[in-house]
Structure 1
Amino acid sequence: MTEHVNDPFVQRAKTEGYRARAAYKLMEIDDKDKLIRPGMVVVDLGAAPGSWSQVAINRVGDNGRVFALDLLPMEPIHRVQFMQGDFHDEEFVQRFEALLEGRTVDLVMSDIAPNISGIPTSDQARSIYLAELALDFASQHLAPGGRFLVKVFQGQGFDEFRKQMEGVFRSVAVRKPQASRGRSSEVYLLGSGKRN
């Protein structure tokens, strides 16, 4: 708890109005890899509490769209379209597709993590499972050439998941932003150039 309170990114998030320190992870990756551009359609999977959506809506500009999807409720963010539900439920996906109104998705991003049980093998398996669900969603909704950013914990299943991503995207890169705690096994995988 003390580490969290004294964390410079936590303090910065409070000062700058972001809902979580995770905002700085996305900003750093975006500054390096130019993920988010004006006019894009972006989907934030597992969006609550919304810090990634806050970053994305600022960067897509007035002509861009951000859709935030989560099982949990989320406080509204101006101009972000939030949908509460399971992004792997067929009826929910159909409602999301209706909101797209024929537009294609340029970027799917997911900072999703399971509720931690404290049993490392179980937590790792659940983390990989969520990443696989996010990849499945991205592969179905991204435009050709689109990009996918997802949080994954290094450990069992990581290499296999990376190979799955390499089957969907022309390149896959690993990113470890400064706002990720050094002792954490979390990294982000960035898939670029979705295959047709």
Structure 2
Amino acid sequence: MERDFYSRKARQEGYLARSIYKLRQINSKHNIISKNSGVLDLGCSPGGWVQYCSELGCSITGIDINPVKINGRNFKFRKIDVLSDDVFSLPGKFDAVISDMAPKTTGIKDLDRARSYNLALRALEIAKNNLKPNGNFLAKVFQGDEFIKFLNECKKYFSFVKCDKPMASKSKSIEMYIICKGLKTKN
């Protein structure tokens, strides 16, 4: 089973989550995150994406309502709900905003997809507010009725927008990652 492979691999290599391989695969293909850049990680728990960004020498601010078991001089954890307005008062701007957020699934496909879309829209709003000019954005969203709508919304604000499903994702998963590069500056 592919899930078992990446979960086992993560444990063997000392990573907190199998999701590290998704980000590694996406970044090696699309170069969303550069070495030593400033990264805002939305929904950062359990910390796999933080670990990857740390390996790149990035300065990471992680936001989640759940704690993260990572300490490091380049990592700052903020216990903030992304749905609160507190997320808009973070100091500084970032080179990349990344989001692997997913809703708690109910098993009701339309509801789960709608919740994923709403989280992705919120991540986009946060990215628009917290990115440096020409910054990059990466977000997970479930495929469904709103998927193309979200893709088109991203195209309004970024020079390059593409979707990708990394090999580390389960083949039956409806998750897709939207890669957005080059935040357009306001005229």
TM-score normalised by length of structure 1: 0.89
Identity %: 36
The 1-side partners of 2:86 and 2:150 are apart by 27
Instruction: Please tell me the residue identity of whatever aligns with 1:68.
Output: G
Counterpart for residue 166 of structure 2: 177
Q: Secondary structure at the match of 1:127?
A: helix
CA RMSD of aligned residues (A): 1.4
The 2-side partners of 1:33 and 1:119 are apart by 32
Instruction: Please tell me the residue identity of whatever aligns with 1:121.
Output: D
Higher RCO, 1 vs 2 (CA within 8 Å, ≥6 residues apart): 2
Q: How many residues align?
A: 184
Say whether residues 1:91 and 2:86 are aligned partners.
Answer: yes
The 2-side partners of 1:74 and 1:7 are apart by 23
The 1-side partners of 2:112 and 2:85 are apart by 26
Instruction: Please tell me the residue identity of whatever aligns with 1:182.
Output: S
TM-score normalised by length of structure 2: 0.93
Counterpart for residue 23 of structure 1: 20
User: Which has the larger share of helix?
Assistant: 1
Structure 2 residues not aligned, in runs of 5+: none
Structure 1 residues not aligned, in runs of 5+: none
Shift of 1:92: 4.6
Say whether residues 1:73 and 2:70 are aligned partners.
Answer: no
Counterpart for residue 41 of structure 1: 38
Instruction: Please tell me the residue identity of whatever aligns with 1:70.
Output: D
Shift of 1:35: 2.0
Contact persistence 1:45–1:134 (CA under 8 A): yes
Shift of 1:132: 0.3
Q: Secondary structure at the match of 1:108?
A: strand
Per-residue deviation, residues 104-135 of structure 1 (Å, max 9, x unmatched): 31000000000011111111110000000000
Q: Secondary structure at the match of 2:53?
A: helix
The 1-side partners of 2:121 and 2:40 are apart by 16
Shift of 1:91: 3.4
The 2-side partners of 1:137 and 1:153 are apart by 19
